[in-house]
């Protein structure tokens, strides 16, 4: 003689999947917009040397990449075959390094600026004279954190 009777035999309603394609396409569109595939197109040939003791760079957003190597075949007609410096997407001179560093520095939050690293990706056949000029200009620009990119020595 209870006032409220329990209803038995009723199942919970099914979850509607009509909005699922909309959600999937929104996620797909989001990841397509925010994904960065490559910062710079390589215009120089860089085959980094092998090394045995390597450490991985932690925050890639705090790294300036400086490429030094011979121009690729499609650029040799214009720039010759001598080793060249590439900053970002274009060939540059050593004197352009301070401006390149400053452009990167203004994009980084002020608290992280002391941790900015310059990574030299140098072809194994480039003479040390060119590398020394770049290192000297980095030092004059106040960029003292320098990294040399290398590949891990293959196991035998």
The helix (run of H) or strand (run of E) holding residue 104 is helix 97-107
Q: Angle 97-107/128-140 helices, nearest 10 degrees? A: 50
What pLDDT, on the 0 to 100 scale, is given for residue 94? 96
In a domain, 32, yes or no: no
- State residue 109's pLDDT score: 93
Determine, yes or no, domain membership for 26.
Answer: no
Q: In which domain, by residue range, is 107 found? A: 44-152
Q: What is the pLDDT of residue 26?
A: 94
pLDDT value of position 39: 66
Which CATH number do you get for residue 83? 3.30.420.270
pLDDT along the chain (156 residues), means of 10: 66 82 93 78 90 89 94 93 93 96 94 95 94 96 94 83
Residue at 10 is within a domain:
no
Phi-psi region of 80 (alpha: psi -120 to 50; beta: other; left: phi over 0): left
Q: Is residue 76 included in any domain, yes or no?
A: yes
Query: How many domains are contained in the chain?
Result: 1
- Whether 69 is in a domain gets the answer yes
The whole-number pLDDT of residue 69 equals 96
């Amino acid at each position: 003689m209870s006032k409220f009777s329990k209803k038995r035999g009723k199942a919970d309603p099914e979850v509607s999947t009509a909005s699922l394609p909309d959600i999937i396409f929104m996620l797909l569109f989001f990841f397509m917009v925010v994904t960065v595939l490559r910062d710079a197109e390589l215009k120089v040939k860089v085959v980094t040397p092998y090394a045995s003791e390597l450490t991985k760079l932690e925050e890639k957003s705090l790294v300036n990449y400086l490429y030094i190597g011979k121009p690729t075949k499609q650029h040799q007609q214009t720039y010759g075959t001598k080793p060249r410096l590439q900053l970002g997407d274009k060939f540059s001179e050593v004197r352009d390094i301070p401006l390149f560093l400053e452009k990167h520095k203004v994009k980084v939050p002020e608290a992280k600026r002391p941790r900015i690293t310059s990574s030299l990706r140098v072809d194994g056949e480039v003479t040390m004279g060119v590398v020394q000029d770049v290192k000297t200009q980095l030092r004059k620009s106040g960029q003292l954190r320098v990294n040399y990119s290398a590949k891990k020595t293959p196991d035998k």
